[in-house]
């Protein structure tokens, strides 16, 4: 009975908020067999997708390895996106046909770290590398999934699958990764990300994100999370709204998030006041990224400026944080920040910064 009430409430909500409904992509995650710990990876993928509010996902399991698969027949057509985290026994023909039909009719699929699975491209033999940090090369920056990404970024503690061509014959290779030490002919590049189309539908393939027992850095990598989200969004809708976050890894180093979410304004301004360069510079990098994004828009810049000035006013904020904020204000600030900046000239540790800023602002 309770279930019915909830369903009615949900239906009402959906009816009342039609615009919201269209933004959330109903997602089915299929797992149950894999060479990696699929229980952890599928839960992680679910969390990553759902936390953005762009997806609402459900996990279903195939029968365990070696057991009868004949009754496995999910209703793919009900979903906007199907994520396959699977590397195991062959699916029954009916299920494969249903999935293929689903894509051809415009469905979106993410093949997550899935070698032996339906829709995976054919290959002769695969081998796995040892777990290590490696460099990902974004080889295509024109595709919606990879547009705006660094072309070189470090990804921590993962395992690469050699011998798979995720792009297949008709797809677009998006990224490769270097496995192992450089040999005489340089590093061997392994394809790790691709985008394919089939009929009206789209398939995003990522070979990144193999969980391990020690917290799965590979799955907490902001590069993995971002590309998974952008790939999923592209597969489901054909376009990408999830932005490249300020903590996307670069050639300078990999970035492992404690959770999965990107930094948002609230988190950043709550924490930037306790900025301590020896801890982390991520909130400050976030601020600089936001300033660049607001470029040319006086109203947006003023909004940021006001929040920055709020930090300057906080007695609890560190001088280190204030110093960096004053230096940013020195070029992007307006008259609004002047009185508060001037006041800080009396603080010995901030005097130089204030003089610096006033020279530019006045």
Partner 1 sequence: MSKARTSRRTFVKRSAAAAAGFFTLPVIIPSSVLGMGGKTAPSNRVVIGSIGTGSQGMSNMRDFLKLGDAVRFVAVCDVDSARLLKAKETVDTANKSNDCSTYADYREFIEKEQLDAVSLALPDHWHGIIYTAVADKKWNVYGEKPICRTIKDGQTIVAAVKKNNIIWQTGCWQRSQAHFRKGAELVRNGRAGKISHIEVGLPDGGKGIGTPPVMDVPPELDWEMWLGPAPATPYRGVCHWNWRWILDYSGGQMTDWAGHHIDIANWGTGMEYTGPVEISGEGVYPPEGIYNAPVEYDFTCKFANGMTMRVANSSRLPHGMGTTWYGDLGWIHTDRGNVLRASDAKLLEEEIGENEIHLYKSDNHWLNFIEGVRTGKPTIAPIEPGYRAICTGLLGEIAMTTGETIRWDPDKEEIIGNPRAERLLSRPYRKPWELPTV
Binding site for partner 1 (CB under 8 A): 137, 141, 148, 150-152, 154, 222, 246-253, 255, 277-278, 280-282, 285, 288-289, 291-296, 327, 330-332, 352-353, 355-356, 359-361
CB of 355 to partner 1, least distance (A): 7
Q: Which is nearer to partner 1, 141 or 241 (CB)?
A: 141
Q: In sequence order, what are the beta bridge partners of 154?
A: 135
CB of 325 to partner 1, least distance (A): 14
Tokens of 276: 């301590």
CB of 353 to partner 1, least distance (A): 7
Q: Which is nearer to partner 1, 201 or 249 (CB)?
A: 249
Interatomic CA distance for residues 232 and 136, integer angstroms: 19
Interatomic CA distance for residues 337 and 300, integer angstroms: 15
CB of 148 to partner 1, least distance (A): 8
Q: Which is nearer to partner 1, 156 or 211 (CB)?
A: 156
CB of 54 to partner 1, least distance (A): 22
Are the CB atoms for 96 and 115 separated by under 8 Å? no
Between the CA atoms of 351, 352, 355 and 359, what dihedral angle is there, to the nearest 10 degrees?
A: -170
CB of 192 to partner 1, least distance (A): 16
Q: Which is nearer to partner 1, 265 or 280 (CB)?
A: 280
CB of 216 to partner 1, least distance (A): 20
Give, to the nearest 10 degrees, the angle between helix 38-51 and helix 222-237.
70
Are the CB atoms for 339 and 309 separated by under 8 Å? no
E strands, the chain, are: 25-31, 55-61, 81-84, 108-112, 127-128, 132-138, 152-158, 161-162, 172-183, 186-198, 201-206
* Nearest one of 109, 172, 143, 170 to 240, comparing CA atoms: 143
Q: Which is nearer to partner 1, 295 or 346 (CB)?
A: 295
Q: Which is nearer to partner 1, 86 or 286 (CB)?
A: 286
Q: Which is nearer to partner 1, 37 or 250 (CB)?
A: 250
How many CA atoms are closer than 13 Å to the CA of 297, on its beta-carbon side?
11
Residues 6+ apart with CB under 8 A from 167: 121, 173, 191, 194, 195, 196, 205
């Amino acid at each position: 009975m309770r279930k019915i009430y909830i369903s009615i409430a949900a239906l009402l909500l959906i009816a009342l908020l039609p615009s919201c409904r269209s933004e959330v992509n109903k997602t089915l995650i299929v797992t149950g067999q894999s060479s990696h710990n699929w229980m952890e990876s599928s839960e992680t993928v679910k969390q990553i997708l759902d936390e953005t509010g762009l997806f609402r996902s459900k996990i279903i399991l195939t029968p365990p390895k070696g057991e009868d698969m004949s009754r496995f027949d999910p209703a793919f057509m009900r979903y906007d996106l199907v994520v396959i985290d699977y590397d195991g026994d062959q699916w029954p023909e009916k299920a494969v046909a249903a999935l293929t039909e689903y894509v051809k009719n415009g469905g979106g699929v993410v093949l997550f770290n899935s070698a032996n699975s339906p829709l995976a491209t054919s290959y002769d033999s695969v081998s796995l590398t040892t777990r290590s940090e490696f460099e990902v090369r974004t080889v295509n920056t024109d595709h919606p999934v990879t547009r705006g990404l660094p072309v070189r970024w470090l990804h921590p503690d993962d395992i690469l699958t050699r011998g798979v061509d995720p792009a297949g014959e008709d797809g677009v290779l998006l990224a490769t990764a270097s496995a192992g030490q450089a040999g005489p002919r340089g590093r061997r590049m392994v394809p790790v990300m691709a985008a394919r189309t089939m009929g009206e539908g789209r398939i995003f393939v990522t070979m990144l994100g193999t969980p391990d027992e020690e917290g799965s850095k590979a799955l907490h990598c902001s590069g993995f999370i971002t590309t998974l989200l952008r790939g999923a969004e592209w597969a489901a809708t054909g376009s990408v709204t999830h932005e490249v976050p300020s903590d996307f890894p670069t050639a300078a180093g990999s970035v492992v998030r404690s959770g999965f979410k990107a930094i948002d304004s609230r988190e950043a301004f709550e924490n930037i006041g306790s900025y301590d360069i020896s801890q982390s510079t991520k909130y400050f990098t976030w601020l600089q990224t936001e300033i660049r994004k607001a470029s040319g828009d006086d109203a947006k810049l003023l909004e940021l400026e006001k929040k920055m000035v709020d930090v300057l006013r906080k007695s609890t904020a560190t001088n280190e944080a204030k110093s960096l904020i004053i230096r940013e204000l020195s070029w992007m600030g307006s008259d609004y920040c002047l009185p508060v900046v001037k006041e800080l000239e009396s603080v010995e540790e901030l005097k130089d910064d204030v003089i610096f800023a006033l020279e530019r602002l006045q």
